[in-house]
Structure 1
Amino acid sequence: MSQARREVAGARRIVVKVGSSSLTTAQGGLDQARLSALVDALAARAGNSQVVLVSSGAIAAGLAPLGLPRRPRDLATQQAAASVGQLTLIHAYAASFAQHRLTVGQVLLTADDVVRRSHYRNAQRTFSRLLALGVVPVVNENDTVATDEIRFGDNDRLAALVAHLVAADALVLLSDVDSLYDGDPRKGGARRIAEVLSESDVDGVSAGTTGASGLGTGGMASKLAAARLAASAGIPVLLASAEHAGSALGSAEVGTAFAATGARLSARRFWLAHAADAAGRLSLDDGAVAAVVDRRRSLLAAGITGVDGNFDAGDVVDLTDLAGRVVARGVVAFDAAELPGMIGRSSKHLAPEQRREVVHADDLVPLPHRR
């Protein structure tokens, strides 16, 4: 067994994500047998681990009660279906987990809850207390009020963010596909990838962008992106079929294992790198890129070549090289309107109140993997 698989099997705190297609029928509505089988596997794992479940399925679960033949395309009807389906979904989970004498707690999140620093910290405290009380948190995006989240199906990325937010030891992504392949397995000739040890192992992998059943919105592309995000932040990942949830949460060598490729970041640095929205961009010359990325230094005005965006001091901005590639992110110390007269100038040529770092090293996260 590989190191990544041993780490997943032995994780004391684990985040498990399941997609809509693994919980619902093609006609819409929950498939109680599949949901119960998933809960059985999760309950067995909960005997020696703390489990957080990130579950899609609210919109799909609302189709049948509303008499809708297929997933609606307009936002208002999607939100209506989510409103009805969320009740059905959490009730089914509560009843199934109760059979194992486990209590569930519903946690509904929007992108705002991980983009805003204060919300992010509050979510950390909530999860920590739920887990300390022996509760199984069931997480979903708050689809009744969300907008972009519904259109782009971001629960895979949400699961990766939650895994770091709760300091999980491992992340398991369950879907209707048993592994990662180098092509579409439905077309034949695709090779299963059992282990991903580095980025080079997934070079050239063609991952579809939509779910096979039409009920989900993430598809393999979003699962691959989520797995890479978590692995780069020091969290091993297992991607497997929901049908094999028991084996995936045990020690069987199913699915595709992603080894942790990066070091664990502090909650603040992870938030900066992956959760916060950038309000603008600063373009850096080659010397500033080397200082920020390689030497982990603060960004000074002398190294800036351009400013883009309408941001305020305290906002998060992307730092790019001269080719426009994002190399770092950080909290800017000046408003956008203040910077044009400062860029390219050394500190001694600036006014006294401007002689400070534009982005301090403590508020900066290099992102060399994006170069």
Structure 2
Amino acid sequence: MIDIKQSRNRHKKRVVVKVGTNVMVNKDNRIVRPILKKLVDQIARLYEEDIITILISSGSVIAGMEVLDDNDIEDITIRRQVYSAVGQPRMMRHYYSIFHDYGMRCAQVLATKRDFDEGKHRENMINCYEGLLSQGIVPIANEDDAVSLSMSMFTDNDELASLVAELIHADMLILLTDIDGVYDGNPADKDSRVIKSVTTDQAVEQFIQSSNKKEGEGRGGMKSKINVAKQTAAKNIPTFIANGKRDDCIIDIVNGKEVGTRIHHVNNEMENKDA
């Protein structure tokens, strides 16, 4: 059994970063390795400051589509399973190679929603993460799309990131997307502005624009991110939604710079005292 307290004290902070598919692909829906390198570079720099990062990475379905785009599987569910099964090792090959260039080690942690249920499954997950972190290994988590179906599925990887953040007692959750944060209107409208701060009791869902996703782009969206961010922030884990393609995005957020949208919990007890 891992001594969580002993492992926890080895670093000053724990940061969970979720990177969405749209962050890592180009307009042709292909993985852009230099973007992955920028992410790893930031993780390595944080590690030098005794801040560890747990990475929740999408991309396996897209990575599988890159080599199986001419398949003849008609069933959508089976096709997604096959894409993921082929794409997972391709994604880890990217990450393993890049982390190796920085003299760091990484490990893959696949999960279904069942793994976070109270009991043995959850205990096993905690031991896995704490064991990796105690050895300076960067966990890279993703939903096990090849076997995760119906009730065992996460809403999306944003939900997985939130559950991991709670599991390892993270100090911060950063959800990276391909826009600068939560806007007060359509992001494509030049008059729209990023909302810098959102509280857990603040209604911003009316600003969220719906979008039609292509196959392989993932199940999440801004509405999902807001919901997950509020749920996570309510557990006293500050949560940020920001543009993962922005240079030094993660570094700047950890250093307290005003980047993206910060979602934080409202302490009603303190507010009542101030009233």
Regarding TM over 0.5, the answer is: yes
Does the C-alpha gap of structure 1 residues 186 and 149 become closer, same or farther in structure 2, counting only changes over 3 Å?
Answer: farther
Q: Which entry has the higher C-alpha Rg, 1 or 2?
A: 1
Counterpart of 1:169 in structure 2 is 171
Give the TM-score normalised by structure 2: 0.83
Please state whether the residue corresponding to 1:108 is helix, strand or coil.
Answer: strand
Counterpart of 2:145 in structure 1 is 143
Counterpart of 2:262 in structure 1 is 257
Whether the 8 Å CA contact 1:182–1:205 is kept in 2: the answer is yes
Give the TM-score normalised by structure 1: 0.62
What are structure 1's unaligned runs of at least 5 residues?
Answer: 1-9, 264-371
Q: Once the two structures are superposed, what CA deviation does each residue of 1:339-362 show, in whole Å capped at 9, x if it has no partner?
A: xxxxxxxxxxxxxxxxxxxxxxxx
1:31: how far off?
1.1
Does the C-alpha gap of structure 1 residues 75 and 198 become closer, same or farther in structure 2, counting only changes over 3 Å?
Answer: closer
- What RMSD in Å do the two structures reach over aligned CA positions? 2.7
For the residues of structure 2 that align with 1:102 and 1:41, how far apart are their CA atoms?
Answer: 12
Note the 1:141-290 alignment, pairs <5 A.
141-148=143-150, 154-200=156-202, 202=204, 204-208=206-210, 215-244=217-246, 246-250=248-252, 251=255, 252-261=257-266
Whether the 8 Å CA contact 1:210–1:216 is kept in 2: the answer is no
Counterpart of 2:17 in structure 1 is 16
For the residues of structure 2 that align with 1:54 and 1:262, how far apart are their CA atoms?
Answer: 28
1:206: how far off?
2.6
For the residues of structure 2 that align with 1:28 and 1:40, how far apart are their CA atoms?
Answer: 23
1:38: how far off?
1.4
Does the C-alpha gap of structure 1 residues 116 and 55 become closer, same or farther in structure 2, counting only changes over 3 Å?
Answer: same
Does the C-alpha gap of structure 1 residues 82 and 195 become closer, same or farther in structure 2, counting only changes over 3 Å?
Answer: same
For the residues of structure 1 that align with 2:105 and 2:267, how far apart are their CA atoms?
Answer: 34
1:28: how far off?
3.7
Letter in 2 for 1:125: N
For the residues of structure 2 that align with 1:147 and 1:245, how far apart are their CA atoms?
Answer: 36
1:228: how far off?
0.6
Letter in 2 for 1:130: L
Does the C-alpha gap of structure 1 residues 207 and 42 become closer, same or farther in structure 2, counting only changes over 3 Å?
Answer: farther
| Percent identical residues | 32
For the residues of structure 1 that align with 2:154 and 2:251, how far apart are their CA atoms?
Answer: 28
Please state whether the residue corresponding to 1:39 is helix, strand or coil.
Answer: helix
Counterpart of 2:273 in structure 1 is none
Letter in 2 for 1:106: Q
Counterpart of 2:42 in structure 1 is 41
Counterpart of 2:3 in structure 1 is none
Counterpart of 1:353 in structure 2 is none
For the residues of structure 1 that align with 2:191 and 2:214, how far apart are their CA atoms?
Answer: 18
For the residues of structure 2 that align with 1:68 and 1:224, how far apart are their CA atoms?
Answer: 36
Does the C-alpha gap of structure 1 residues 37 and 168 become closer, same or farther in structure 2, counting only changes over 3 Å?
Answer: same
Letter in 2 for 1:33: P
1:213: how far off?
9.3
What are structure 2's unaligned runs of at least 5 residues?
Answer: 1-10, 269-275
Does the C-alpha gap of structure 1 residues 174 and 58 become closer, same or farther in structure 2, counting only changes over 3 Å?
Answer: same
